[in-house]
Structure 1
Amino acid sequence: MAARTLNKLTAVQAAKLTAPGRHSDGGGLYLFIDDAKRRRWIFMYTRRGKRAELGLGGGRDMSLAAARTEAAALRAILAADGDPKAERDKLKGVPNFGDFADAYVEAMTPSWRNPKHAAQWKMTLTKYAASLRHRPIDEIGTHEILGVLEPLWKRTPETAERLRGRIENVLSAAKAKGYRSGENPALWRGHLDQLLPKRQRLSRGHHAALPYTAAPTFMEDLRGRSATAARALEFTILTAARSGEVLGARWNEIDLQNRLWTVPAVRMKAGREHRVPLSPRATEIVEAMEELDTEGFVFPGSKPGTPLSSMAMAMLLRRMNVDVTVHGFRSTFRDWASEETSFPHEVCEIALAHTIANKAEAAYRRGDLFEKRRKLMDAWSSFCGAPRTPKVVPIRRTA
């Protein structure tokens, strides 16, 4: 590295600088100010013909004197033909983003309700944040975050927002461990919201729903199909349950004598056990599945001991040429209950396992209105149409 004048700036001059860009202090040390006026110290050097840049710290948290001391140590490493980046990381014991993110997911998994949640975290932090994984976690700034988010922001905005939140959590944990300092570059409010367009949200949920008036015709078609996915979807619709609750249903949760399905808290979104009254038709479906003599899951997958695939019901809907989602049938049920029945609001909401928004009302409610909900679900089953024959169509073990 060619000799350069050192200590070009004074502490007062550095504090007054506001123009975006790099401001040299000499010897490869720069105060970098971005377009949003955020400041950080960087060290730039050339080693073996390759230009490199190291972040030293935030301009608010690191003084000019401290930045010069750090830069001098890096110049000494470079003079001895060492790699400043590798030596500094070894000295500081700073992990890269990928290793720290994996450790974070592993540490947090016990607090999450199901393994699928942990798998989603790991997938997004591996696939979509690939460019961050080998970077030391203390060198990740706004520029690097935008490089990950911008390609996704308009194409798959929901994925991009989830990724941003997960990166924010990982970087916050790194700060708590002492590996980072200063503001979190993945923060949305007051930071990335000034650099990325606000995400457009659907005016009514995210799941396409079937108009409730079309439900009887749809259900007649569905009842005529013999795949396990057809019975699982019909059961999902009749119980107004979430697909994950149904796919994970096990035989020890079912009480056929009392027409009751008890979903354990671990599989419920609200984290509380939920009792589901089974209509006569829903009970027939369970009895038909029981005749298959399967172990473990009520709706088994193609491999022994596994549940039906999470994609099976969605693929069935595609084959039926219906442009709706499985989750959307919960809206179908709710619209029917509001428009066609006089059941109280709270009965319909508890049938959907929704939490009571009014904290005062929630504090005084002790029961789950089970018998009233049984009448509601029986009425919903009747609206969906009774089968022409008393038996369920024989099941084929293919989705």
Structure 2
Amino acid sequence: MWAHERGLCLAVAKSGSAFWALRYSTAAGRRRLMTLQQYQPIDAAGLKALEWQAAELRKVIKAGRDPLAERDADTAATATAATTVSRIAVDTFEEVARDYIAQHKDGWKNAKHLQQWENTLETYAYPIIGKLLPHEITTDDVLKVLRQDHERAGKNGTLWTGARETI
């Protein structure tokens, strides 16, 4: 570890990765090492910016607060909020697909297109990926849908090779 000024240092982890950090003690006497940024060669202006950041953090420490604990709490709160929002705001693939059909059916040339969309998704997609959230669907999930057994005109194959294209 290379020490610079009043706790600002270049630290090297056991893994060999280096980072700029601030070493300090809390009001309770607990020693802390707060990562400021991953190591990169910096010029005088970059070092001055790190020194300024360390000086601001020392003000927080002097006020009796622990900036690392505060940052960790902020990160945890942000992650919890993002998880909560994603659980509330995201519909399943089936819900999104049904909504898409409802919004676009008036623009299709005839009622048969509506029936084709609904029947194809109901038969092949919903049983496999219908309950998944759209952002959770992987390439493997799509391949499961396309590689399903499919029979047409007495010929067996997969949905991908045997189904007719619908425009």
TM-score normalized with structure 1 length? 0.24
- Higher RCO (CA-CA < 8 Å; seq separation 6+): 1
TM-score normalized with structure 2 length? 0.49
